[in-house]
Amino acid sequence: MLSSGGQGRLARRDFLGGLALGAGGLVAQAAEPLAARMPDSMKTLGGADLPYGQPSHHEQRVQRQLSSAAGFAVWRTPLQTQRGIITPSGLHFAVHHNGLPDIAPEQHVLMVHGLVHKPLRFDLQRLMRYPMVSRVHFLECAGNSAANALSPLPVKQTLGEIAGEVSCSEWTGVPLSYLLHEAGLREGAQWVVAEGADGGSHSRSLPLQALLKDAMVALYQNGERLRPSQGYPMRLFMPGWEGNVNVKWLHRLEVTDAPAHTKDESGLYTQVLADGRIERFAFHMDVKSVITHPSGQQTMPEPRGFFEIAGLAWSGHGRIARVDVSADGGRSWMTAQLHGPALDRAFTRFTLPWRWDGRKAVLMSRATDEHGRTQPLRSAWKSRYASHSFNHYNAVQAWGIDADGRVENVYA
Amino acid sequence: MRDTLARWLRAAAWGALWLGSAVLAQTAPPALVGLGEPLEPARLARHDITVFPGGRNLPPGQGSVAQGARLYQAQCAACHGPRGIEGPAARLAGSDGWMGWDDPLRLLRIRKHPLLIQSVGARWPYATTLFDYVRRAMPYHAPKSLTDDEVYAITAHLLHLNGLVGAEAVMDRQALPKVVMPGLARTVSAWPPGP
């Protein structure tokens, strides 16, 4: 009724306007070209396209956030702007411990040696001729959400700044098993030390059986060759495992009987448990979810009313089975709708329609994977680890909404 | 007629081959694509730098704590601080955690550089990793620019900063693997994962 009344008023005014113009006005209107009543974009020839397309310049604020607080460069994905399971390649998170090398592909060689019958090398030209597989998988840094793990008070930051060390892509490459079997595994082979061709020769030890089952030498990301920041021309990819073991700029694989205890598996990528023991080689990233809309530092569009809660969930152990959402700080939960496909070890999108009543609210999401693994509350997560541990944080993320519509990171 | 038969037979043979390979692809990976080339020993020798906890692959050479202290001030202190605890780069010495008797200012340091909450000396399980990492990745702005003797010396100095070797200690391929790091006794492996 309101809308028809509005139209009525509009129609009357238009009609009165026409009368005032008189007959001369009507003639002029008929003679006027269409352009007179169209927006600019509809009456000018459009601009030229680019050889490599770019996002609209109106979306320039959608960028990765750089932080150097850790002592090295951490570029975080702005998850609060992502709708859909694929992260645009240029927005994929990156952690660079030793900068970004510039590697000429024709000079790059992958070496396989150690406990093998035939030490082999593969240049790109040959590697590109191997059968390839494509898989959609998330990749998450072990230290993602570290601020929520460590900080006594919740940091006032955006979702991307808090938990943007996770992204999801389609990765295409050669199953590592093809290369390892070609080299021929010798008795006693148990681990593989993977090394990158960067300034720091980043290296990690990985268990052989898991690599044979799941690992890929990734050459393509989202249909194009890897970005330099993701390891161009090739990286190791282990679905569901902490980002640090997915060695970028991969150039050497040494098959061994035991781990090398490299720098990162000795310190930064270990965690102290509540009883003081140091946990090493915890590779899997556990089940986790975040509400992306609304999220930290945002403001609700209206003082009250309809809002579609949206978010992303993932698990390093398999598929997401369900996501529950609470709007009252965890007292009651509603099951969100999952938007397929719910892929193995990939982002899965979830939504829940919600009517905000304009009062204080605390939104939370809790994901459960196909194995029944579910997210702990922050207090339960903290009780498992020493107070200064921060890796593998997968506790429920909570967003507080104030009466003025401001959304902030809170602990609940 | 004979032509037609020959063509049919040829097509059948290709079909059988195609079917056969399809079955193979389902049951086993193409283990023998066979495009890898022999890795030349000289190429491997240039890159074979990983040092293992027992000392395997440690090169000849040696360095003392005193030599290491001088090198440290010139090559490392700008990022790791004069005592290896000031940051901004990784804390090299002392205990882990929010507080430490040895460093009353630690909380302030962590506020500025959160990763100083961890210490190399407290957490790393093997001294060989110090040598391996300094040689492959340090100094930050000129990685791999130190000689093996210099790396042994800096390793000796870092161990001394942590009170694990004396001021007169000299590190080489025999001595280094024998140094016991406190992180080893506290170690528990999450791999293989439990049931």
Tell me the pLDDT tens digit for each residue of A12-29.
333 333 344 444 445 555
What pLDDT score does A77 carry? 98
Give yes or no: residues A215 and A329 share one domain. no
- Whether the upstream peptide bond of residue B177 has omega within 30° of 0, thus cis, is no
Tell which of A109, A121, A266, A271 to mutate to test the B interface (max B CBs under 10 Å).
A266
pLDDT over 90 percentage in chain B: 81
CA-nearest residue to B50 within chain A is A260
Same structural domain, A380 and A241: no
Which chain B residue has its CA at the smallest distance from A251's CA?
B47
Q: How confident is the model at residue B2 (pLDDT cuts 50, 70, 90)?
A: low
Tell me whether residues A207 and B191 touch, CB distance under 8 A: yes
pLDDT tens digits for A292-315? 999 999 999 999 999 999 999 999
Per-residue pLDDT, averaged over B153-166, amounts to 98
A359, amino acid identity: R
Residue B8 reports pLDDT greater than 70: no
pLDDT at B101: 87
Nearest neighbour of B137 by CB, restricted to A98, A207, A267: A98
**Domain limits, chain B:** 1-29, 50-178
How far off is chain B from A157, nearest CA to CA, in Å?
16
Q: Which residue has the tokens 């956030």?
A: A65
CB contact under 8 A, A182 and B32: yes
Among the partner residues A178, A256, A387, nearest to B33 by beta-carbon distance = A178
What pLDDT band is residue B24 in, cutting at 50, 70 and 90? very low
Distance (Å) from the alpha carbon of B40 to chain A's nearest alpha carbon: 8
Average pLDDT on B134-163 reads 98
Predicted pLDDT at B110: 94
pTM of the model: 0.90
Last-in-domain residue among A271, A297, A318: A271
Give residue A327's domain range: 288-410
Q: What is the mean pLDDT of chain B?
A: 89
| Higher local confidence (pLDDT), A79 or B4 | A79
What is the pLDDT, as a whole number, of residue B32?
Answer: 83
- pLDDT number for residue B111: 92
**pLDDT for B162 beyond 90:** yes
Buried b (16+ CB within 10 A) or exposed e, A78-95: bbbbbeebebebebbbbb
Judged by CB atoms closer than 8 Å, whether chains meet at A261 and B32 is answered as no
**Coil, helix or strand at residue A123:** strand
Residue B29's pLDDT is: 53
Reported as a single tens digit per residue, the pLDDT across A350-365 is 999 999 999 999 999 9
* A144 located within any domain: yes
CA–CA gap between residue B127 and residue B26 (Å, rounded) = 47
Residues A311, A392, single domain; the answer is yes
Q: How far is B190 from chain A (nearest CA, A)?
A: 5
A201·B44 Cβ contact <8 A: no
Contact B143 A200 (CB under 8 A): yes
- Which of these three, A242, A271, A300, is where a domain ends? A271
The domain that holds A322 is classified in CATH as: 2.60.40.650
- What's the pLDDT score for residue B6? 56
Q: What is the pLDDT of residues A314-351, one digit of tens each?
A: 999 999 999 999 999 999 999 999 999 999 999 999 99
Q: Which chain A residues contact residue B120 at CB under 8 A?
A: 266-267
In CATH terms, the superfamily for domain B50-178 is Cytochrome c-like domain (1.10.760.10)
Are A86 and A141 in a shared domain?
Answer: yes
Q: Is B78's Cβ below 8 Å from some Cβ in A? A: no
Query: In chain A, which residues have their Cβ closer than 8 Å to the Cβ of B113?
Result: 69-71
Best probe of the B interface among A201, A244, A385, by most B CBs < 10 A, is: A201
CA distance A189 to A206: 12
Which among A261, A270, A393 is the top mutation candidate for probing chain B, defined by the most B β-carbons within 10 Å of its own β-carbon?
A: A261
- The full DSSP string for B136-154 is HH-STTSTT-S-HHHHHHH
Cβ atoms A245, B115 nearer than 8 A:
no
- Hey, which bits of B28-122 come out as E strands? 37-38, 62-64
A293/A265 same-domain check: no
Residues of B in contact with A202 (CB under 8 A): 137
Q: What is the mean pLDDT of each run of 10 residues along chain A (412 residues)?
A: 34 37 51 94 96 96 94 96 98 96 98 98 98 98 97 97 98 97 97 98 98 98 98 98 98 98 98 98 98 98 96 98 98 97 97 97 98 98 98 98 98 94
Report how many domains make up chain A: 2
Kindly report the nearest CA distance between residue B128 and chain A, in angstroms. Answer: 9
Task: Find which of B51, B111, B119, B188 to mutate to test the A interface (most A CBs within 10 Å of its CB).
Answer: B188
Summarize the confidence of residues B146-168 as an average pLDDT: 98
Residue A6 lies in a domain: no
